[in-house]
Amino acid sequence: MSANKNNHAETATPLLSLQSVCKQFGAVSALTNIDLDVYPGEVVALVGDNGAGKSTLIKTIAGAHKPTSGQIFFEGKPVNMEGPSDAIDLGIATVFQDLALCENLDVVSNLFLGQEKGPFALDETEMEVRSWTLLNELAARIPSVRDVVASLSGGQRQTVAIARSLLANPKIIMLDEPTAALGVAQTAEVLNLIDRVKAKGLGVILISHNMQDVRAVADRVVVLRLGKNNGVFTPDSSNEELIGAITGASDNSVTRREQRIKSASSACEV
Amino acid sequence: MSSSTTNKIDSNTPLLDRSDERVNHDSSIGDVVRSFVDRVKSGDLGSLPVVVGLIIIWSIFTAINPVFLSANNLVNLLFDSATVGIIALGIVCVLMLGEIDLSVGSLSGVGSALLGVLWVKQGLALPLAMALSLSFGACVGMAYAYLRTRFGMPSFVATLAGLLALLGFQLFLLGSTGSINLPYSSSLVDFGQLLIMPAWLSHSLALLPGIVFVFRGVQIRNKRMAMRLSAKSLNSILVKAVLMTVALEMIVMYLNQSRGVPWMFGLFLLLVIALNYALTRTKWGRYMFAVGGNVEAARRVGIKVERIYMSAFILCSTLATLGGMLAAARLASASQQAGTGDVNLNAIAAAVIGGTSLFGGRGSAWSALLGIIVIMSIANGLTLLNLSSAHRYMITGAVLAVAVIIDSLARQSRQSHGKA
């Protein structure tokens, strides 16, 4: 793990870096001293139980929440985001779980929604060409960009949503449970897509409850528990380790006793 | 796709949008017909029900009374269609967002009453009186949009309240006399009752759509081919343009046997074309569809949803006021009866019958034109049969019910075919 990090440190500064970020809602500390680094061309998986603070963290990075304390750095520079549009301007794109596509519009219209070419005479040809090039780059299998989104499968819709977030040339993309509610083949398609986004040199933050998917694409797995960092793992760490960190099952009287004995014996040896 | 980076066009590499072999593309006329049948089966009806309905209605009325299809009667039909059609055009805008305005009838009545009071009673200049009346309509639309976006008041309730309030305001404006006669010699009444395009002008205007169609078609075709997208064949563009031009010229020729094409209908057509352009070719139109389809998605991509609501309601109310003033011009009076009765439902029915969905996100400006011709054909035909308004209301109500049933069935079918 540390070798991996050193490797990055030689080549680049982190795209996004959170340093002891806290977020409080009244008396509740949703996030406490969160540290997180995302490097270009790296997939960081964010895992944790319900209520672990994943969504709060995503919203903080997306500019929807302002951190109570701590600092966010983007490309090495400290940034203060006042709203989601600031995050988008910096190059942070977010694909939310519900995708937010307009089912009555075709793929081109959805991809360019909010950033159409030519306000008083839409340049449909230009938009269609760019849609095809973008989708081909992602090797996405959309039969026709002139089909309405309602006629697409779940995986194809996810592809459209991810492609849309890439249209503004972001540097980092956050995916909130992109494989939830997808079949086996569609899940594989989305994972391929994440690989391709990574290959383009973007940083990816992936939220997922599915350890299999996380292992398949992630370079690092960051575990959140009760709003705190609860360890950073490599994707090849064992299931027990990961699940232990997520649920806190490793933090009980049995493990504490084992640790105590271990440390006592090592102290004796010295 | 590596070839997309090179400029050389290689005939062996598939076009950008034809690289997926799973999709069937229509190449022959048979394919076009087949895909049309498939589209209809899956619930994407377009304007098919209206056209079929219109053919049925016209054949029945002509069979009973041949006067119905006479040029003179059709010219009258166009005069009548223009006023309510303009109101229906506004309804299309609010329906597109999945909202409704039930007060357009009352508002058109207020529009005509305001015109009568300001122009005839107060002696203001006609353009000023019309402008004031239109801006009153815009204010009403603004109020509805504000109630909708600020307080989350369903437009159904807000405009129902508006219906009663505006009706009261209309009665208040007209006072005890109950009606104000508009001067017969005025240009407005001429416009509403008499003004007809000269034959040469109507014939030249009928050529225009074909020319624009070919020009735009070739322009788009060249651009698409340059960008390696599939393009329509030159033949299909020409065939469509010729068919369109021949049909339009024949209609104009037939109407010119009697008086000709009314200017008022010309104004209506112009508004339809303008709204159609705005809805299909501008950012605003795209946002209208987006908000009607998925408000939350529209909000997330940064569309100012409140402004879209505002624009739709203002457009609807302003067009309703305009329709009311033209209706007053047609009758040469602003009366207490103006805008009451079936105006409201005719306008809404026209939009729905024409194919604009009540559920939002689906529709077109042309639906106002097609729908109002259906509605007015029924009204006109029943009048020719000497049936009272009692029968007319019942039959129009039944037609509206059928139209909504078709809309709902088509929606269910679209859902089951994955095209909701």
Asked if B86 and B235 sit in the same domain, the reply is: no
Q: Which residues of B touch A133 (CB under 8 A)?
A: 1, 4, 16
pLDDT for position A109: 93
Residue among A125, A143, A148 whose CB faces B20 most closely = A143
Contact predicate A54/A224, CB 8 Å? yes
Residue among A104, A125, A132 whose CB faces B361 most closely = A104
Q: Is B5 in CB contact (< 8 Å) with chain A? A: no
Q: Which residues of A touch B300 (CB under 8 A)?
A: 96, 100
By C-alpha distance, which of B205, B318, B307 is closest to B262? B205
Domain boundary among B230, B261, B292: B261
Q: Is B420 in CB contact (< 8 Å) with chain A? A: yes
Contact predicate A243/A251, CB 8 Å? no
pLDDT digits (tens, 9 = 90+) for B259-268: 889 999 999 9
- Residue A190 and residue B381: Cα distance in Å, rounded? 59
Q: Is B322 exposed, middle or buried (0-12, 13-18, 19+ CB in 10 A)?
A: buried
Domain boundary among B212, B234, B261: B261
Contact predicate B97/B360, CB 8 Å? yes
Asked if B169 and B290 sit in the same domain, the reply is: yes
- Residue B182 and residue B184: Cα distance in Å, rounded? 6
Q: Which residue has the higher pLDDT, B389 or B201?
A: B201
Asked if B155 and B224 sit in the same domain, the reply is: no
Look up residue B313 and give its two tokens: 């309601």
Asked if B249 and B292 sit in the same domain, the reply is: no
Contact predicate A150/B414, CB 8 Å? yes
Give the contacts of B165 (CB within 8 A, at least 6 positions apart). Answer: none
Q: Is A144 in CB contact (< 8 Å) with chain B? A: yes
- Residue A235 and residue B379: Cα distance in Å, rounded? 73
Give me the count of residues in chain A. Answer: 270
DSSP codes, A72-103: EEETTEEE---SHHHHHHHTEEEE-TT----T
Look up residue B209 and give its two tokens: 């759509």
Give the contacts of A189 (CB within 8 A, at least 6 positions apart). Answer: A140, A141, A155, A159
Q: Which residues of B touch A120 (CB under 8 A)?
A: 281-283
In a domain, B206, yes or no: yes
Domain boundary among B225, B244, B261: B261
- Compute and round to an integer the Cα radius of gyration of chain B: 23
Instruction: For tokens 């540390």, name the residue.
Output: A2
Strand partners, A173: A93, A204
Please report, for the domain that includes residue B300, its CATH number.
1.10.3470
Q: Which residue has the higher pLDDT, B36 or B297?
A: B297
- Closest CA–CA distance from residue A111 to any residue of chain B (Å): 10
- Closest CA–CA distance from residue B97 to any residue of chain A (Å): 12
pLDDT digits (tens, 9 = 90+) for B210-222: 999 999 999 999 9
Q: Within 13 Å and on the Cβ side, how many CA atoms surround B201?
A: 8
Q: Is A195 in CB contact (< 8 Å) with chain B? A: no
Q: Sign of torsion, CA B42 B48 B53 B59?
A: negative
Asked if B87 and B224 sit in the same domain, the reply is: no
By C-alpha distance, which of B405, B399, B402, B401 is closest to B382? B399
Q: Chain A interface, mutation test: which of B9, B229, B299, B301, most A Cβ atoms within 10 Å?
A: B301
pLDDT band for position B2 (cuts 50, 70, 90)? very low
Residues 7-26 of B with CB under 8 A from A: 16-17, 19-20, 22-23
Angle, helices B263-281 vs B283-293, to 10°: value is 70
A vs B: CB pairs below 8 A: 100
The separation between CA A6 and the C-alpha centre of its own chain, rounded to angstroms, equals 22
Do the Cβ atoms of B300 and A96 come within 8 Å?
A: yes
In a domain, B411, yes or no: yes
Asked if B170 and B222 sit in the same domain, the reply is: no
In a domain, B52, yes or no: no
Q: Which residues of A touch B286 (CB under 8 A)?
A: 105, 109, 113, 116, 122
Amino acid, res. B39: R
Q: Is A239 in CB contact (< 8 Å) with chain B? A: no
By C-alpha distance, which of B101, B85, B96 is closest to B285? B96
- Residue A79 and residue A21: Cα distance in Å, rounded? 13
| Strands laid side by side in the A16-25 sheet | A28-38, A16-25, A69-74, A77-79
pLDDT for position A252: 63
Classify residue B121 by its DSSP letter.
I
pLDDT digits (tens, 9 = 90+) for B341-396: 788 889 998 998 888 888 888 899 999 999 999 889 988 888 888 888 788 888 87
pLDDT for position B228: 83
pLDDT band for position B145 (cuts 50, 70, 90)? very high
| 3 state DSSP class of A39 | coil
In a domain, B57, yes or no: no
Q: Chain B interface, mutation test: which of A88, A123, A132, A142, most B Cβ atoms within 10 Å?
A: A132
Residue among A88, A104, A125 whose CB faces B289 most closely = A104
By C-alpha distance, which of A60, A63, A64, A73 is closest to A31? A60
pLDDT for position A2: 41
What are the helix (H) ranges across A115-269? 124-137, 154-167, 184-199, 211-217, 239-247, 253-269
Of all residues in chain A, what percent are helix, strand and coil, respectively (each to 5)? Answer: 40, 25, 35
Look up residue B294 and give its two tokens: 């998925």
pLDDT for position B19: 66
Strand partners, B171: none
| 3 state DSSP class of A228 | strand
The separation between CA A137 and the C-alpha centre of its own chain, rounded to angstroms, equals 20
Q: Checking DSSP bridges between strand A203-207 and strand A43-47, what pairing results, if any?
A: parallel
pLDDT for position B46: 66
Q: Is A132 in CB contact (< 8 Å) with chain B? A: yes
Q: Checking DSSP bridges between strand A220-225 and strand B333-335, what pairing results, if any?
A: unpaired
Q: Which residue has the higher pLDDT, A190 or B15?
A: A190
Q: Is B211 in CB contact (< 8 Å) with chain A? A: no
In a domain, B80, yes or no: yes
Residue among B19, B223, B293 whose CB faces A125 most closely = B223
Q: Chain B interface, mutation test: which of A129, A136, A167, A174, most B Cβ atoms within 10 Å?
A: A129
pLDDT tens digits in sequence order for chain A, 270 residues long? 444 444 454 457 889 999 999 999 888 888 999 999 999 999 999 998 888 888 889 889 988 888 999 999 999 899 988 877 788 888 998 888 888 899 999 999 999 988 888 888 888 889 999 999 888 877 777 888 888 898 888 888 888 998 888 888 899 999 988 888 777 877 888 898 899 889 988 999 999 888 888 888 999 999 988 888 888 888 888 777 888 888 877 666 666 777 778 787 776 655
Asked if B136 and B240 sit in the same domain, the reply is: no
In a domain, B26, yes or no: no
Q: Chain B interface, mutation test: which of A86, A107, A112, A125, most B Cβ atoms within 10 Å?
A: A125
- C-alpha distances out from residue B296 to A96, B119, B304, Å: 12, 45, 11
pLDDT digits (tens, 9 = 90+) for B148-171: 999 999 999 999 999 999 999 999
Asked if B96 and B245 sit in the same domain, the reply is: no
- Residue B160 and residue B145: Cα distance in Å, rounded? 14
- Residue B374 and residue B55: Cα distance in Å, rounded? 10
Asked if B314 and B399 sit in the same domain, the reply is: yes
Q: Which chain B residue lies closest to A94 (C-alpha atoms)?
A: B300
Asked if B207 and B347 sit in the same domain, the reply is: no
Q: Considering chain B, what percentage of its residues have pLDDT values greater than 90?
A: 55
Q: Is A100 in CB contact (< 8 Å) with chain B? A: yes
- Residue B399 and residue B53: Cα distance in Å, rounded? 10
Residue among A85, A101, A129 whose CB faces B302 most closely = A85
Amino acid, res. A270: V
Contact predicate B348/B399, CB 8 Å? no
Contact predicate B317/B148, CB 8 Å? no
Asked if B326 and B207 sit in the same domain, the reply is: no
pLDDT for position B163: 94
Structure pTM? 0.85
In a domain, B360, yes or no: yes
- Residue A197 and residue A200: Cα distance in Å, rounded? 5
Strand partners, A207: A46, A176
- Residue B217 and residue A243: Cα distance in Å, rounded? 61
Asked if B185 and B304 sit in the same domain, the reply is: yes
Residue B301: other Cβ atoms inside 10 A = 18
Q: Which chain A residue lies closest to B296 (C-alpha atoms)?
A: A100
Do the Cβ atoms of B290 and A120 come within 8 Å?
A: no
Contact predicate B129/B119, CB 8 Å? yes
Q: What does the buried/exposed string (b/e) look like for B385-397 if buried means 16 or more CB atoms within 10 Å of the residue's CB?
A: eeeeeeebeeebe
- C-alpha distances out from residue B270 to A31, B263, B319, Å: 59, 10, 13
Instruction: Name all domains of chain A by residue range, CATH numbers in brackets.
Output: 2-91+170-269 (3.40.50.300)
How many domains does the structure of chain B reveal? 2
Q: Is B390 in CB contact (< 8 Å) with chain A? A: no
- C-alpha distances out from residue B298 to A194, B289, B420, Å: 25, 9, 18
Residue among B1, B283, B301 whose CB faces A119 most closely = B283
Residue B253's domain comprises 196-261
Of all residues in chain B, what percent are helix, strand and coil, respectively (each to 5)? Answer: 75, 0, 25
pLDDT for position A4: 45
Q: Is B125 exposed, middle or buried (0-12, 13-18, 19+ CB in 10 A)?
A: exposed
Q: Is B361 in CB contact (< 8 Å) with chain A? A: yes
In a domain, B46, yes or no: no
